């Protein structure tokens, strides 16, 4: 049966809650809704986030940098509970005017630098430490292309497919079909590329892989959006599966995926991982 047709009014008015599970925090305005300062720890990087796919990108890269011997990448991780509206506190909005996780402050230099948007944070860290991004022009360009591909793709998977298939209070055929089609197309783009190369940007693991893995990997392994793996028949994307399996086995990736989750709410030093089951 086709979805009931909706005729938009001449002027849209926000007159009721909208957004299903997140209806209590969705609104058409920006800015702080409460005065709330952010905690600050002792390490060079202060991360304010949650263990969602976008949040995992940054913690995975930070853990990879630490594992590679970059002591300057030590960080404090603080939970921002987006379900409770922590992202609308004044301190968080000062870091990210868009009120989305993750946000970070780089306190390693003479002046603190605010960072928002996960792709910008990955690029800042990779450039700062000259790691997980090719240093030659051709390689860097390819890496940035795949990084931006992921950044442009994520809204279709999360805000599109994930919302209408999993979170929306009413299941509607048209948006589910539309975004299921686009999500499968994006998997096919990655699968075709990964038939040719070991990683997205070539033969070396990079921030492009970290960015894409947290989304494609969570869907492929069945960790996101309920029955998605079966619904979208994701097992058919065998090259993606090979890539997901290799990346998921990296110890730094396993650590990064549990930071700011219920399994490990805050990370302040390497010792905090003792006793935490890391296989995810």
Stretch 38-57: mean pLDDT, rounded?
96
**Are residue 144 and residue 231 in the same domain, yes or no?**
yes
pLDDT at 240: 98
Say whether pLDDT at 264 is over 80. Answer: no
Asked if residue 32 is part of any domain, the answer here is no
How confident is the prediction for the chain on average, in pLDDT? 92
Q: Provide the pLDDT confidence category of residue 27 given band limits of 50, 70 and 90.
A: confident
pTM (two decimals): 0.93
pLDDT at 271: 65
- Boundary (domain end) residue, out of 117, 132, 147: 132
Asked if residue 201 is part of any domain, the answer here is yes
Stretch 175-189: mean pLDDT, rounded?
98
**Are residue 146 and residue 241 in the same domain, yes or no?**
yes
**Are residue 242 and residue 150 in the same domain, yes or no?**
yes
**Are residue 142 and residue 96 in the same domain, yes or no?**
no
Asked if residue 267 is part of any domain, the answer here is no
For the domain that residue 147 is a member of, what is the CATH number? Answer: 1.20.1050.10
What digits encode the pLDDT tens for the residues 93-134? 999 999 999 999 999 999 999 999 999 999 999 999 999 999
Asked if residue 6 is part of any domain, the answer here is no
For the domain that residue 60 is a member of, what is the CATH number? Answer: 3.40.30.10
Asked if residue 168 is part of any domain, the answer here is yes
Q: Mind spelling out the 3-state secondary structure of the chain?
A: CCCCCCCCCCCCCCCCCCCHHHCCCCCCCCCCCECCCCCCCCCCEEEEECCCHHHHHHHHHHHHHHHCCCHHHCEEEEECCHHHCHHHEHHHHHHCCCCCCCEEEECCCCCCEEEECHHHHHHHHHHHHCCCCCCCHHHHHHHHHHHHHHHHHHHHHHHHHHHHHHHCCCCCHHHHHHHHHHHHHHHHHHHHHHHHCCECCECCCCHHHHHHHHHHHHHHCCCCCCCHHHHCCHHHCHHHHHHHHHHHCCHHHHHHHHECECCECCCCCHHHHCCCCCCC
The residue range of the domain holding 183 is: 137-248
Asked if residue 238 is part of any domain, the answer here is yes
pLDDT at 16: 78
Say whether pLDDT at 51 is over 60. Answer: yes
pLDDT at 278: 56
Asked if residue 264 is part of any domain, the answer here is no
Number of domains comprising the chain: 2
**Are residue 126 and residue 145 in the same domain, yes or no?**
no
**Are residue 148 and residue 106 in the same domain, yes or no?**
no
Asked if residue 14 is part of any domain, the answer here is no
């Amino acid at each position: 049966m086709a979805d009931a047709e909706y005729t938009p009014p001449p002027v849209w008015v926000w007159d009721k809650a909208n957004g299903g599970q997140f209806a209590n925090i969705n609104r058409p305005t920006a800015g702080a809704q409460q005065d709330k300062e952010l905690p600050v720890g002792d390490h060079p990087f202060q991360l304010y986030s949650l263990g969602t796919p976008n949040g995992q990108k940054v913690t995975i890269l930070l853990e990879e940098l630490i594992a590679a011997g970059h002591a300057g990448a030590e960080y404090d991780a603080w939970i921002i509970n987006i379900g409770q509206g922590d992202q609308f506190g004044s301190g968080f909005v000062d870091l990210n005017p868009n009120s989305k996780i993750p946000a970070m402050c780089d306190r390693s230099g003479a002046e603190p630098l605010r960072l928002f948007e996960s792709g910008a944070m990955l690029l800042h860290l990779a450039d700062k430490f000259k790691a997980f991004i090719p240093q030659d022009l051709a390689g860097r360009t390819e890496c940035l292309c795949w990084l931006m591909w992921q950044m442009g793709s994520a809204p279709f998977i999360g805000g599109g497919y994930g919302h209408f298939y999993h979170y929306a209070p009413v299941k509607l055929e048209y948006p589910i079909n539309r975004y299921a089609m686009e999500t499968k197309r994006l998997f096919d783009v990655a699968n075709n590329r990964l038939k040719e190369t070991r990683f997205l940007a070539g033969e070396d693991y990079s921030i492009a892989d970290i960015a894409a893995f947290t989304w494609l990997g969570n869907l492929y392994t069945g960790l996101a959006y309920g029955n998605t793996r079966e619904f979208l028949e994701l097992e058919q994307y065998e090259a993606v599966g090979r890539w997901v399996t290799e990346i998921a086995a990296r110890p730094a990736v396993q650590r990064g995926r549990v930071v700011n989750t219920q399994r490990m709410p805050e990370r302040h030093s390497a010792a905090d991982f003792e006793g935490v089951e890391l296989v995810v």
